[in-house]
A and B are shown apart, each in its own frame.
Chain A
Amino acid sequence: MNFLVLIGKYFFLMKTVFSKPVKRKIFWKRVLEEIDGIGINSIWIVSIVSVFMGAVLALQVATNFESPFIPKYLIGFSTRETMILEFSSTVVCLILSGKVGSNIASEIGTMRITEQIDALEIMGVNSANYLILPKIIASVITFPILTILSIMLGIFGGYMVSFFTGIVAIPDYIYGIQVFFVPYNVLYSIIKMIFYAIIITSISSFFGYYTQGGALEVGKSSTNAVVASIILILIFNLLLTQLLLL
């Protein structure tokens, strides 16, 4: 029953979120601020994780492909496919749900307990729309860009490890990352990322917006937001893969 109430509250909040902003100019300024906060500030973590994961993927594939009948270019191919199909969308989003999601929940939760949201409402501002919609739009814009960045850096990580360790000849690796390329897979990854962007920002905002109590409850909201986002990302990963790839 509580679960149904929670879902009802979520959709009720979303109905309030997706309404006309008070002033378009202020709204787009807020979107730009959120692009900076959510997207630009996440570049470093996505870059570091992607480069290392790409490098590790190449190494692991290389150690498992010892048979002379398996062509070496498959190291590049596997690295590329893993980055595109799963890592740069789902795994990156699981990481972002921790960074961005907890940040959003604690920011909005703190605003709630310090009456800043009440202050917005008293001024006649639709607080849900003002605070949450720019975050959703900013994440929908920036997360796909982060995916592309992650794919490129992951493949670059594999290249670097090939270059420095010699596990595969560079021409083989380059051939591997070009062969059997299916552009649709990149689109699939981007579509998944858009769904995850909406999940992370709206779920985290929801938990933050309905925080009650003090600092301890803000922490709990933040944790709940991350846990709920991760579970939903995994469920949607399965559903979207079924729908888009099979």
Chain B
Amino acid sequence: MIEIKSVYKTFADKIVLNNVSTVFEPGKVTMVIGRSGSGKTILLKSTIGLSSVDNGEILYNNRDFFKSNIKIQRKIREEMGMVFQGGALFTSATVQENVIFPLDLFTDWTKAEKLKRVNFCLNRVNIEDANNLYPGELSGGMQKRVAIARAIVLNPKYLFCDEPNSGLDPQTSIVIDKLIKELTLEYNMTTIVNTHDMNSVMGISDKIYFLYEGQIEWEGVSDDIFNSENQNLNDFVFASEFFRKAHSSGTINGRMVKQ
């Protein structure tokens, strides 16, 4: 479980996170949505410790990340898996080398054991016969799946995804979404996904936070999102023509919504 308590963050004089408090629970996919510049990325970066906070606490199973020493911070990070927007695969390494990398660093397994785990993870994300290919030889969807395989190879407790569907076609996006959901349940991970993609939000979210100008303006589940009274959330959700039409027709993904 990750607890975020009264987090403040400013850049120059601009407040980018303003008293953000929330809890991310294990076994659930929590989605953070909001317009570009709303503070989603900085919230994610602060949560994983890539960016410091001016005030507040970020607790990983009651361990305060920023107040911990480097050793404990590294220990916490070993429990994290992250899927970056661009995949962030090591471009000069093959698929196999990318996925085996965390095992090389943090386990004392034999080469055979490591390869077995790598192949298991690659099969789990439906990547086959690509061990010796380089990231540049893979499609965007495959790169994301390799990034997921690398993220889960050490059985992480926490999975972070920064816009995992960005640049992907709708069908591939659904595949990636399903994978994230299945893996979250399989490993009982605390999964946090930053996204703009309302299809993902409707498809796999267990909990949704809407961030607006550095503050959590709304939280709830996908069933409630269309019935919200929050104007900023409605502006965000119904910016899409599809969602406007679906909303006026009364159903989205087979769910009844308020007229």
Name the B residues within 8 Å of A23 (CB-CB): 104-105
Does A26 make an interface contact (CB < 8 A)? yes
Does B152 make an interface contact (CB < 8 A)? no
Stretch at the interface among A116-124, A155-163, A175-183, A199-207: A116-124
Does B211 make an interface contact (CB < 8 A)? no
Closest to A33 in B: B92
Interface size on A, residues (CB 8 A): 15
Closest to A116 in B: B88
How many A-B residue pairs have C-beta atoms within 8 angstroms? Tell me.
53
Q: Are A121 and B77 in contact (CB under 8 A)?
A: yes
Q: Are B88 and A119 in contact (CB under 8 A)?
A: yes
Contact with B along A96-127 (1 / 0, CB 8 A): 00000000000000100011101101111110
Name the B residues within 8 Å of A22 (CB-CB): 105-106
Provide the bound-state CA to CA distance between A6 and B101, in Å.
Answer: 32
B53 → chain A, closest Cβ, in Å?
16
Name the A residues within 8 Å of B80 (CB-CB): 122-124
Chain B, interface size category, equals 20 to 34
Name the A residues within 8 Å of B49 (CB-CB): 121
Name the B residues within 8 Å of A114 (CB-CB): 86, 88, 91
Closest to A125 in B: B105
Closest to A115 in B: B88
> Quick one: which of A121-141 are within 8 Å of B by CB?
121-126
Q: Are B75 and A124 in contact (CB under 8 A)?
A: yes
Name the A residues within 8 Å of B105 (CB-CB): 22-23, 26, 123-125
Residue among B50, B78, B160 making CB contact with A123, cutoff 8 Å: B78
Q: Which 5 A-B pairs have the closest CB atoms?
A: A124-B77, A115-B88, A119-B88, A124-B78, A124-B74
Interface residues in chain B, defined as those with a beta carbon under 8 Å from any beta carbon in chain A: 48-50, 74-78, 80-82, 84-86, 88-91, 101-102, 104-106, 160
Query: Can you list 13 A-B pairs with a CB-CB distance of less than 8 A?
Result: A23-B104, A26-B105, A114-B86, A114-B88, A115-B84, A115-B88, A116-B91, A118-B82, A118-B88, A119-B82, A122-B50, A124-B80, A126-B74
